[in-house]
Amino acid sequence: MTDSNRPRNTLTLKKKPATDAGRDDTARKRSGGRARKVAQAERERGKYDALQRQASEATARRKPHPGNQALDRSDEPLVLRVPAQQRREERQPRRAAEIFTVFAPCPHGLEAALCAELEALGFEDARTDRAGCRLTTNWSGIQRINLYSRLATRVLVQVAHALVHTEEDILELARNTPWERWFGAEQTLRVDTSAIRSPMKSLQYCNLRAKDGICDRLREREGERPDIDTVRPDARVHLFLDDKSATLYLDTSGESLFKRGWRLDKGEAPIRENLAAGILALAEWDPEQALLDPFCGSGTILIEAAWIALGVPPGIWRPFAFERLRNHDPRHWRDLKTEAREHIRPRLETPLIGVDLDDAAIESARSNLERAHLAPETIHFEVGDARHVKPPAPTGWLVTNPPYGERLGDNDKEMWSEVATNLKQNFSDWHVHIITSDLDLPQHMRLKPRRRHPLHNGALECRLFGFEMVKAGYRR
């Protein structure tokens, strides 16, 4: 139907006789409001007519499909509809998301595991580097790594890089970097410096030059310098030096990512949370299978395992440095966390068992369990001896960070011999993984490891030994 023969709805306004002054004023007021409605209707009809004209022209231009007449609908009217969301986007053009180069450090030995984790999170260009991984992503991706990564120590965004020969080059590099887009003079600052094969004589002086360059830049732009806070700063900057160049990173994490917010009782020889998660990854623990830690201490390995099995993001209950930066979007960050919470499982059926000889260690583990927002029945902690513990299921994983070195004294060889006897007799078809700084542990246990992964527990060089307990292989 064309515009010429399509009937139109019309509205005729009739003037009422002015027999009464008050009634006449009321009528004029009503007619004015109705007139505005009519004008609005005419404008909307005009927009509709314009769309229909475009549809008619598009219909006239369409030709029948040469290979399949069933696809030809040239005799049907084409109605153009513009969704409200599209109209809003047209009014405000979308800007392409800025892509950043990111370095995510991790404990030595976990680089490949971290790379696999990042790829599983959707960062396909992640690649291993020395003590970490590199990738590129937008700001939302940076937030997601902070929220979801169990193995990374920090998430560092590269903001400047250049060849440097002297400390003054570092000053100029820091001064020419647009720090004002991230933080200002009203916020506190901390700068840290690390180096590999750098010819600079004093890293402390390099750190001072970087700090001066940042402060000079902000004073020039905003009239004053930021205060320095080495304990709880609003903004953290990392300077990394190698043999030829300097790189400045903005720290988006703040406190190290292994600080999940639940571990206050650390025990005698704690293992960091991201190393515990890394050990579980290297051990290839199946979250549907039982897990036993016969030297559980404060429960770090088991609590990390519970979060993995339940799908709890490690950063869900802690703050991050990017929340204090100028470009922070609280609504977007809230949406990311809401989506993450929706995927957390309500309960865990997998048996997780923690055993330790020390009563105080078990109490610490139970306190940490509560602070980790886990139900008491999620992990079963009990006082017991690793030499006599029994498997909670026919098959499963035994993963542990036992005492070693000075913690055991002269009786460690005898103790490990008894532990090995228990494993051989009762843990057939189990996967056993033990992290230790005692590289002779397999000899003490008279077991041959199937795998060994070099790791560092703090400053200690360690090995994660993997044993497959096959019953036929230990018959007497």
- What pLDDT is recorded for position 445? 93
Q: What is the residue type of 121?
A: L
Task: Give the mean model confidence (pLDDT) for residues 313-318.
Answer: 96
- The answer to whether 447 and 420 have CB atoms below 8 angstroms apart is yes
Question: For the chain, which residues make up each domain, given as ranges?
Answer: 100-251, 273-312+345-474
At a CB cut-off of 8 Å and minimum separation 6, what does 13 contact? 31, 34, 35
Q: What kind of architecture, by CATH, is found in domain 100-251?
A: 2-Layer Sandwich (3.30)
- What pLDDT is recorded for position 16? 42
- What pLDDT is recorded for position 263? 84
pLDDT(382) > 70: yes
The tens digit of pLDDT for each residue in 207-243 reads 999 999 999 999 999 999 999 999 999 999 999 999 9
To the question of domain 273-312+345-474 being in CATH 3.90.79.10, the answer is: no
pLDDT(424) > 70: yes
- What pLDDT is recorded for position 5? 45
The tens digit of pLDDT for each residue in 105-137 reads 999 999 999 999 999 999 999 999 999 999 999
The tens digit of pLDDT for each residue in 178-204 reads 999 999 999 999 999 999 999 999 999
- What pLDDT is recorded for position 410? 56
Half-sphere exposure at residue 195, Cβ-oriented, CA atoms within 13 angstroms? 19
- What pLDDT is recorded for position 94? 41
Which stretch of 34-38, 213-217, 242-246, 400-404 has the lowest confidence by average pLDDT?
A: 34-38
- What pLDDT is recorded for position 211? 97
Task: Give the mean model confidence (pLDDT) for residues 5-27.
Answer: 42
Q: Which residue has the tokens 């096959």?
A: 470
Strand pairing category for 290-293 and 396-400: parallel
- What pLDDT is recorded for position 210? 98
Task: Indicate the pLDDT class of residue 414, thresholds 50, 70 and 90.
Answer: confident
Task: Give the mean model confidence (pLDDT) for residues 135-164.
Answer: 98
- What pLDDT is recorded for position 268? 61
pLDDT(284) > 60: yes
pLDDT(75) > 90: no
Q: Which of 363, 389, 395, 393 is nearest to 376 (CA)?
A: 363
Quote the CA–CA distance of 363 and 382 in Å, as a whole number: 9
- What pLDDT is recorded for position 46? 59
Query: CA 29 from chain center: how many Å?
Result: 61
- What pLDDT is recorded for position 216? 97
Query: Phi, psi (5° rounding) for residue 164?
Result: -135, 145
User: Is there a common fold for 100-251 and 273-312+345-474?
Assistant: no
Quote the CA–CA distance of 186 and 221 in Å, as a whole number: 12
Q: Which residue has the tokens 């030297």?
A: 295
- What pLDDT is recorded for position 50? 57
Task: Give the mean model confidence (pLDDT) for residues 248-268.
Answer: 88
Strands annotated E in 277-360 = 290-293, 352-356
Tell me the average pLDDT of the chain: 84
Quote the pTM value. 0.78
Q: Where are the alpha helices (DSSP H) in 296-329?
A: 300-310
pLDDT(475) > 50: no
The tens digit of pLDDT for each residue in 291-310 reads 999 999 999 999 999 999 99
Percent over 70 (pLDDT), the chain: 76
